[in-house]
Amino acid sequence: TACVGIGKQIAMDLARRNARVILACRNLHRGRNTEQEIRHKTGNHNVHLRILDTSSLQSVRRFSEQINKEEKQLDILINNAGASGLKREITSDGLELTFATNCLGPFLLTNLLLEKLKLSTLARIVNVSSLNHARGKIDFTQMTGENFPPFDSAYNNTKLMNILHTME
């Protein structure tokens, strides 16, 4: 999310460079606060909030549709979802929450925005991962929550998948 942590710092830096920034945040209230803070600190009023929950495929599709309709092109897409330490939970799409949030949502988002990115001659896709990817493994039963791994393993596995997505 662009509301906290690395995502917020990246958005702040891009705004300081006078970029048009679209903040993709799950929470409207937190997103509005972040939008106002970045505008105030950078003087860049071309910072815009859009609601996105990468754990929901419907939300990803809705967000992508809105961006594809509103934007002429995209120069950079930064996939920064990083939920960790979550309890086993199955999303309305039938997916394990950590996998849906960190991996499948960003993968779908990238694919749905790819044509807008191709319109920019210098487009970039940045998938934020973690050194913990080295501890990850691919187990397809974990994606639906059938074989939910202990604490950080689900996070590590999704970060490995992010690396593989980037290499693809």
Q: List residues with catalytic annotation.
A: 155
Note whether 65 and 114 are within 8 A (CB): no
Distance of CA 70 to the CA centre of its chain: 19
Instruction: Give the CA count within 13 Å in the CB-facing half-sphere of 1.
Output: 21
Residue found under tokens 């048009």? 20
Instruction: Give me the count of residues in the chain.
Output: 168
Phi and psi torsions of 23, nearest 5°: -85, 120
The tokens describing 163, both together, are 């690396």
